[in-house]
Amino acid sequence: MPTLRETILTALHMRLSALTATALRGEVLPERVPAAGLLILRDGEPGEPEVTLSPLTYHYQHRAEIEAVVQGAARDAAFDTLCASIGTALVADRTLGGLCDWVEAEAPQPVDLPVDGAASLKAAVIPVILHYSASDPLG
């Protein structure tokens, strides 16, 4: 049976997979970026939990990351559209079906990456904070 952390990350990946961009999890950047863009979900760090007693509960602010990448002549508009679609997907269900207390994204810091012999990439890491509680730090 998967842990709560894995269940939450899987639910986040499924939410991203519903977008028009290709959504991967934990993969390396492929040689070609799809026309609709590319999202790579990185598991990130659960961080140091706050702990409450009676009952023993670990409260996490898990920091996952979404790498958003677009390529092509209209990459500024495509990047803006891709980021907006991520925001819309997260706002639609801030609890990922009740798995989290709250899900929030931080603003991206985009960069242009030159590619030899091809159109440059526009990319950013979008931190996503997953607030959840668990009864076991390993469970």
Residue-level pLDDT at 1: 86
The dihedral through the CA atoms of 23, 43, 78, 91 has a sign that is positive
Q: Rounded CA gap, 15 and 9, in Å?
A: 10
Residue 113 pLDDT: 87
Axis-axis angle for helices 75-92, 4-17 (nearest 10) = 130
Look up tokens 């996503």; give the residue. 128
Polymer length of the chain:
139
Give which of 104, 103, 69 is closest to 83, Cα–Cα.
69
- Tell me what the mean pLDDT of segment 112-119 comes to: 82
Note whether 49 and 96 are within 8 A (CB): no
For the chain, percent of residues with pLDDT exceeding 90: 86
Domains of the chain: 4-134 (3.30.2000.10)
Over 90: is that where the pLDDT of 24 sits?
A: yes
Per-residue pLDDT tens digits for 62-100: 999 999 999 988 999 999 999 999 999 999 999 999 999
| pLDDT greater than 90 at residue 116 | no
Helix H, strand E, coil C: the string for 68-123 is EEEECCCHHHHHHHHHHHHHHHHHHCCCCCCCCCEEEECCCCCEEEEECCEEEEEE
Query: pTM for the full model?
Result: 0.94
Mean residue pLDDT of the chain comes to 95
Distance, CA of 53 to CA of 37 (rounded, Å): 45
